[in-house]
Amino acid sequence: MSEPRSDVVRLSTGIRGLDGLLAGGIPEGFMVALVGMPGTGKTVACIHFAWAGLSAGESAIYVTTEESRESVIRQAAQFGMGFDRASREGRLIILDALMRKDDEWSLKEVSVEEMLDRVIAAKRSLGRGARRLVIDSMSAFWLSAPVKAREDSYSVKRVLSKWGLTIYVTSQYAITTGSAFGWGVEHVADGIIHFRRAISGGVLRRYLLVEKMRQTPHDLRAWEIEIRDGSGMELVRPLARRAEDDALPGGVMRRIREHSGDEEP
Ligand X SMILES: Nc1ncnc2c1ncn2[C@@H]1O[C@H](COP(=O)(O)OP(=O)(O)O)[C@@H](O)[C@H]1O
Identified binder of Mg ion from the candidate list 43, 64, 65, 87, rule CB under 5 A: 43
Three-class DSSP category at 100: coil
Q: Which residues pair with 27 in a beta bridge?
A: 10
Identify whether the C-beta of residue 140 lies closer than 8 Å to the C-beta of residue 66. Answer: yes
* For Mg ion, the closer CB: 126 or 225: 225
CB of residue 200 to ligand X, shortest distance in Å: 15
193 and 185 Cβ atoms separated by less than 8 Å: no
**Residue count at the site for Mg ion (CB under 5 A)?**
2
Element (H, E) at 120: helix 112-126
Residue 36's binding partner out of Mg ion, ligand X, none, with CB under 5 to 8 Å set by partner kind: ligand X
Closer residue to Mg ion, CB minimum distance, 87 or 172 = 172
Which residues in this chain contact ligand X in the complex, by CB under 6 A?
36, 38-44, 78, 195, 227-229
> In what helix (H) or strand (E) does residue 10 lie, and over which residues does it extend?
strand 10-11
Q: Shortest approach of ligand X to residue 226 CB, angstroms?
A: 8
Q: Which stretch binds Mg ion (CB under 5 A): 21-29, 34-42, 82-90, 93-101?
A: 34-42
**Residue 27, contacted partner among ligand X, Mg ion, none, CB below 5-8 A by kind:** none
Contacted entry of Mg ion, ligand X, none for residue 12, CB cut-off 5 to 8 Å set by kind: none
CA distance 51 to 39: 20
Q: How far is the CB of 257 from Mg ion (least distance, A)?
A: 45
Q: Which is nearer to ligand X, 27 or 207 (CB)?
A: 207
State which amino acid sits at residue 200.
Answer: S
Name the residue nearer to Mg ion (CB basis): 42 or 131: 42
Give min distance, CB of 225 to ligand X, in A: 10
Nearer to ligand X among residue 126 and residue 192 (C-beta): 192
Query: Cα(149)–Cα(141) distance, rounded to whole angstroms?
Result: 8
Which residue type sits at 144?
S
Give the angle subtended at the CA of 125 by the CAs of 120 and 131, to the nearest 5°. 70
Looking at residue 156, its amino acid is V
